[in-house]
Structure 1
């Protein structure tokens, strides 16, 4: 089964305005396949996300979290289509998962935008 995710890249200023409820955002810029490794998640399993912060192109690194908490990195990363700043900073801080687990928000500090994965 080939799953895809929609990616929305938004200017950071627009996201700040949306956060206070002054405007709605809905700009779809691309579609990217999700990494597929192994069987679907089972009860107690999950995913962990980190970000590269690379100046040549920011990417989300995806790990499978087993029920016992061990992590296994999936074979490939997912590009954000934004840029990092190349400094080893917190790789999880610029990532947020929506309360309903539907969207993953990624801040791209080098290109001053936010990518939304659905």
Structure 2
């Protein structure tokens, strides 16, 4: 009997812990100088280095067409890599370096300024 409670608890923790640290946020995603997403999103810290992912607040909807999550992966102070997770859970690196904005610290931008990922 005790084993079944433990197994149930482990399964519950696994199922419900995926977004334990996710927070509601307001996000703005600009790609090719066009605002592709602006609105309520889910902000998920990734690791202890400041990396994070953004997803649609509604888990049944994509953040962008063919993109379930956008990741900002910290490489060094104020420098990050842009990546995404597709609907099939394939992790895709974009090969784009992002720099933390000096104008708005909630934003990460590429050197051309035509890509911007912001979470408030």
Comparing both chains, which one has the higher relative contact order based on Cα–Cα distances under 8 Å and sequence gaps of 6 or more? Answer: 1
Structure number with the higher helix fraction is 2
Larger radius of gyration: 2
TM-score bucket of the superposed structures, by smaller chain: 0.3 to 0.5
TM-score normalized with structure 2 length: 0.33
Structure number with the higher strand fraction is 2
TM-score normalized with structure 1 length: 0.33
